[in-house]
Chain A
Amino acid sequence: MDATAEQLLWMYEKMIEIREYEETMARVYLEGKLPPRIQKGLAFDIGAGPVPGEMHLAAGQEPVAVGVCAHLRRDDTVVGAHRPHHFAIAKGVDLDAMTAEMFGKDTGLGRGKGGHMHLFDPAVKFSCSGIVGAGAPQACGAALAAKKLGRDAVAVAFFGEGAANQGAFHEALNLAALWKLPVIFVVEDNKYGISVEKSASTAIASNADRAAGYGMPGVLVEKNDAIAVFDAAGAAIARARRGEGPTLIEVKTDRYFGHFQGDPETYRPKGEAKALRQHDPIPALGALVRDLGLLDANSDAALRERIVARVQAAYDFGRNSPYPRPEDALLHVFAE
């Protein structure tokens, strides 16, 4: 199934939006965390600044999010992982509320109780988890619900290649295949589980090969390319909607930033991240849409301007929103 002009433009736009969002966060996150504004003797203060806590950025991994989500509807479920912004943006999570959550504000998705690893937007059926591999069984549950309710909705679990060594991953694959659930497992292989290379953590080269052990198709996308992901995901999602069961997809992708912002990246060969940017998937898709006559230089520039303004507005919203009252920490333990 070839991508339509509308889908191509959507993927291009969303990739730029994700990149703009992550590059902005990379800067904003560092505000207030570096000397001389922090405790003397520290090189970095993780709990300081307007966006405190850990921060895992997904710049470089945009093709995985947009290639899959281009096929999804509002009533399809996505469960993301600890590096969730690209999935959230591609699934249509409210950008203002998501950003406010990272600033810890009352207007955030979780009213400041979740932070960047725990984003919940039930309006578009998005959630994520900071526990590696935990989302896979949860996506099975969403798919089970769709099946029970007679809907043709699907569920997608996104996680890194490190998660494919968790028990939760293997249990989820068995359950999905056993019950023929409309679920798609998408592994983002960005080569590193924090600092450990895939070859040092995983006995086989491609997690897609593991699908055979569970009686489901396994697809390896070898290129960090939106169209390649779009094609693989399209077939898997159509299959799931037809009631033919789950698929496991692994995508070889690139992580431009560290595992988290502030990661000294001592485990990476010098210049690796810079070299990866030579194969940036965004200009590649941009060249395609211009070749197809879907955009020209002027409309491309206008598009980028619109995206920059939208992202900036979300950051302004987050920054300028009020904090929750301290005692609101006591709310929402239980539903009324």
Chain B
Amino acid sequence: MTTATPAKARTLTMAQAISEATAQEMERDPRVFVMGEDVGKYGGIFSATTGLLDRFGPERVMDTPISETGFMGAALGAAAEGLRPISELMFVDFFGVCFDQIYNHIAKNHYMSGGACKYPLVITTGIGGGYNDAAQHSQCLYSIFAHVPGLKVVVPSNAYDAKGLMTTAIRDDNPVVFLYHKGIMGLSWMSYFEGSTNAVPEEPYAIPFGEARVVREGSDVTIVTLSQMVQKSLVAAEQLAADGISAEIVDLRTLVPLDRATVLKSVAKTGRLLVADEDYLSYGLSGEIAALVAEHLDSIRLKAPVRRLAVPDVPIPFSRPLEQFAIPQVDNLVASVRGLMNAKIY
């Protein structure tokens, strides 16, 4: 007797998932094109555009000069004419050379036109540290983009989400900033968290913005997080489970729009909140989530004070022990949750 083996689900790296979503949308909509540094033959420094040049040619997959103000402005101008550019900012750290086009124009022109003009474009960009690239190539900075009204901000943690969210980003009529963490792209030259490479359907699908995902259910503590830190949190949660601590993990997936309801529901259930973030501690995402919960203490009873784990307001240092200290690691997550379990509200 033979048993049919079920077809093994196809897995993709996050980089493959992003380029597959892009290819499928380019196939579907001739207005979509890609521009940026090394997006052509090289396929993107972090492989987000691998294979696109061969398939769509240089008219639709355009290598640009190292001239971010030039091509971000051009993306806006092309979007105003009805095209749908995907414009890659190689490292998010480079926003400093082109932010005027992004925050003063791409983000605001729809508003300043009273809704008369639309700018359907996607800015893709690599974020995050953990591989010793130092202070100018290791930041996350998503809070800066989320702070400016008019930009949607997407920060996926795995391949399945990345494909669905990228599809939604390209179809959206607004500017979307799509930030992928280098340490979960599944690159062959950088160690990564394997949980980010997962089963991805071949057919196109869209994941709506503003829907956080509970990636692990738990009853003692809620970890609100995003991007690579989701993968770190999953590892931490396994260790905590061995100690009998049940952690629930909420992956925000998009910062704008933000799924406040899922955060509040989870914290109401567990009564404890740890915000785990790879961005800088002060004036950013972790403070935003803490404030959200503080504003709802009339309907949420906390069992412990809110805790935040983030980069302690220092630039990302180069040397391995320094960087490992500055960027929250699995051990820090475990220790923070344990501390939270012992903390009390007076």
Contact = CB atoms under 8 A, between A and B. Distances in A.
B71 interface: yes
A120 B112 contact: yes
A112 to B, nearest CB: 7
Interface residues of B, number: 41
Contact of B33 (A121, A127, A148): A148
B76 A138 contact: yes
- Interface residues of A, dominant DSSP: mixed
Given A110-B112, A120-B117, A137-B69, A148 B83 contact: yes
Contact of A137 (B77, B118, B173): B77
Interface string B88-115: 0000000001001100110001111111
Interface in B150-207: 150, 152, 173-174
B73 A167 contact: no
B65 interface: yes
A110 B149 contact: no
B150 A140 contact: no
Interface residues of A, number: 45
A335 interface: yes
Interface in A169-190: 171-172, 174-175, 178
Interface in B27-80: 33, 59, 64-65, 67, 69-80
A94 B59 CA distance: 35
A129 B100 CA distance: 11
Nearest to B82: A145
B77 A118 contact: no
A335 B115 contact: yes
Given A109-B114, A118-B112, A334-B174, A131 B73 contact: no
A174 B67 contact: yes
A332 B115 contact: yes
Interface string A100-125: 00000000111111100010111001
Interface in A282-336: 331-336
Contacts of B152: 334
B116 interface: yes
A306 B86 CA distance: 48
A193 interface: no
Contacts of B112: 110, 113-114, 118, 120
B114 A334 contact: no
18 contacts: A109-B114, A110-B116, A111-B115, A114-B114, A120-B116, A125-B81, A127-B80, A136-B73, A137-B77, A141-B85, A144-B77, A145-B78, A168-B70, A168-B100, A171-B65, A178-B65, A334-B150, A335-B118
Q: Please provide the 7 A-B residue pairs with the shortest distance between their CB atoms, ordered closest to farther.
A: A141-B77, A137-B73, A111-B114, A171-B70, A145-B81, A120-B113, A141-B74
